[in-house]
Structure 1
Amino acid sequence: MKAQKTIDYITEWLKDYLNKSQQNGFVIGVSGGIDSAVTSALCANTGKPTLCVELPIHQHKSQVSRARKHIEHLEGRFANVSSIKVDLSTTFDTFKASLPELEDQELQDFALANSRARLRMTSLYYFAGIHGYLVAGTGNKVEDFGVGFYTKYGDGGVDLSPIADLMKSEVFELAKSLSVIDDIQEAEPTDGLFGDSRTDEDQIGASYDELEWAMGFDGDISEISDRQEEVLKIYKRLNSANQHKMQPIPVCEIPEDFKE
């Protein structure tokens, strides 16, 4: 991969879209993970106002410290970068307390995890609204178009997606060229929606390298290993189940003669 050319291309794409939208800058939720680190660095690279927002909700300490360290690193390098921290833990607790308890605790925990992402989206659009900024998405190609590993109208609710055509391995490549801090480059990917240290691989059942292989697989299934066959099944199951996230919102088009 031609990392620097890719960085320059995305940077110009961001600047061009910003100019056409007649907005003033970018706002990004920074989680302490590789995707938000690369996205925020790319936005910073445009020279346009870039607001990095920390939105912890009972976050694991390691995620909070990585996010803060990355933001401080960016602010030290780019005069156009600013930051703010909004702790949504109490807001989330109030929301949770207002809901009826479910007998299925696992189902409720999953629904509440997605609610965390949606609270963060709402907060990002608050800052976007008051500053005239665009919300920059942090999803990569595997998450957005492979297995749908994101929250609809949560981290999937954005104005533009600068890294959504990059595989996770390519995001890591850009991170090196963008001088993203080692703490983030070396951390296990996690969505941070459960307040613990579980990784994306723990949840999905396959690593991003394995999922990238599955996305591009077009060979003879009889020639692959048992593990590869298992990964392929995981990929196909998630890709099928999450099509509702990856396809445009369906519109019920009423026949014209019904309107006469």
Structure 2
Amino acid sequence: MRAVFVGRFQPFHKGHLNAIKYILKKQKGGIFIVIGSIERFLERDNPFFFKERKEMVLRALRESKIKNFKIFGLPDFFDDKIWASKVLAVTGLKPLDTLVFSRDPWTMKSFEKIGVRVKPQPFFFNKLSATLVRKKICRQEKWEHLLPKSVSVYLKEIRAGQRLKFLAVPPEKRIVGFIREKIKEAGAKGGIVGVSGGVDSAVAAVLAKQALGNRCRFLSINFDRGSLAENISLLNKKLGGRIKILSLRSPYDCLLRRFPPGNKTARGNLKSRLIMATLYYFANFYNLLVIGTTNRSEEEVGYFTKFGDGAVDIEPISHLYKTDVLEMAKRLGVPEEIIRTKPSAGFWQGQTDEKELGVSYEQLDKILRLLVQGFKEEEISFLTDISKKKVRDVIQRKKKNTHKLLPPARIQYVN
């Protein structure tokens, strides 16, 4: 019988260590430690990367001279049976040969559903939690005694205190402060946001309004009155009726009549660049900065138009993955209809982001979050149950579109 102990270890503390010691006394065959939520990092409740958490566990166990263990990592699955089955797949264990130690009700129920025995371990250190440790570090209270010495040393090495203090500030508040700071630095009178009816521009617009109030302008630029007109109307109410609507259908058609016939990508990108030119016209006229609406998921894979929606002065949400933007939209009170709308640039009939990308945003974000932590194609596919082809396509798209994130290439003179 093999023992399994699952945790996020954000960070690893003495309660975790004593639980492992207890389990090893009960189960002589060693312990399989599974680090969960490996795709989560740089968040208030999940501040540490997988490799950092793994290093904490390794240092603590070596310090205690514990040798009979193996460490694994696993991302989240939003299905309890699938998640529990994946724990077995990652560890190579069978249900009848596994004993899971946990006090978490969801974890216990998940394993019981697939026929795995679960046993609660005792509480240690008066129900010590990682949440309490993080709070104490943020408040600059005494916390070192709650962690194995090697772990407290490691947290100081990676400057965990600064990170936790930064992450303790609500992300919306950080973005509002960022927008105000950049407008002030530029000596601009305010900002302008192009709103499409999608969730990204809605979030950027709401945050810009919080930051700048009446000093922010909102422009909805369209080429036909399409299916997102109702979303624009809902957002307009949220923003206090401040959205101006402008159609570029006539100049767009005029240009197409004068240009050689182009494919749908060329025509779609032309729309994006016309929107950019229009936003900058008003930005110049009123002395404003253009506020972008690109999220991190789109930016990393280059899913934007170069010198189109990628041409802005500041990018307030480009550090947020698409799934983060959706969560923020709920907190900001963005209308549910906008949140539920399938993401689309709307440049041609039937276009959707996920259809073009070949993966859902939930899948894309998992892939990107693991790639940035150094996981390889095969590892990501195995850990997430996303096909190798889809993972490979995302990697290739990132490589192909790297040029979009770089300044123009120039000849370098030798001094």
**TM bucket normalised to smaller:** 0.7 to 0.9
Identity of counterpart residues, as a percentage?
28
Deviations 1:21-53 (A, max 9, x none): 110111011000010000000100013411110
Higher Cα radius of gyration: 2
Q: Provide the residue aligned with 2:258 in structure 1.
A: 98
Q: Which residue of 2 aligns with 1:240?
A: 399
Q: RMSD in angstroms over aligned alpha carbons? A: 1.9
Q: CA deviation at 1:59?
A: 4.9
1:87-126 alignment, distance < 5 Å? 87-101=247-261, 108-126=263-281
Counterpart position of 1:130: 285
Q: Flag the 1:220–1:251 CA change in 2: closer, same or farther, 3 A.
A: closer
Match of 1:149, as an amino acid? Y
Q: Which amino acid aligns with 2:389?
A: E
Residues 1:47 and 2:202 are matched in the alignment = no
CA distance in 2, matches of 1:163, 1:151: 17
Partner of 1:84: 244
Contact preservation (8 Å) 1:128, 1:135:
yes
Task: Report if the CA contact (8 A) 2:377-2:391 is conserved.
Answer: no
SS of aligned partner of 2:324: helix
Residue by residue over 1:84-111, the C-alpha shift from the partner in whole angstroms, topping out at 9 and shown as x without a partner, is 1110011111111111235xxxxx2110
8 Å CA contact 1:52, 1:71 repeated in 2: no
The amino acid that maps onto 1:154 is G
Match in the other structure for 1:172: 326
Contiguous gaps of at least 5 residues in structure 1: 77-81, 103-107
What CA distance in whole angstroms lies between the structure 2 residues aligned with 1:112 and 1:15?
35
Of residues 175, 188, 209, the one that matches 2:362 is: 209
- 1:182 corresponding residue in structure 2: 336
4+ residue runs over 4 A deviation: 1-4
Alignment partner, residue 5 of structure 1? 170
Correspondence for 1:64 = 229
SS at match of 2:303: coil
- How far apart are 1:219 and its partner, in Å? 5.3
TM-score, length of structure 2 as denominator length: 0.56
Equivalent position SS for 1:134: strand
Give the whole-Å Cα distance in 1 for the aligned partners of 2:281 and 2:237. 23
The Cα shift of 1:185 comes to 0.8
CA distance in 2, matches of 1:134, 1:21: 8
C-alpha distance in 2, partners of 1:89/1:66?
Answer: 20
Displacement of 1:139 in angstroms is 0.3
Q: 1:221 aligns with which of 378, 384, 389?
A: 378
Name the TM-score, length of structure 1 as normaliser.
0.88
What is the CA–CA distance in structure 1 between the aligned matches of 2:191 and 2:245, rounded to whole Å? 16
Of structures 1 and 2, the one with the larger relative CO (CA 8 A, separation 6+) is 1
- The structure-2 alpha-carbon separation of the partners of 1:197 and 1:67, relative to structure 1 and needing over 3 Å to count, comes to farther
Match of 1:29 in 2: 194
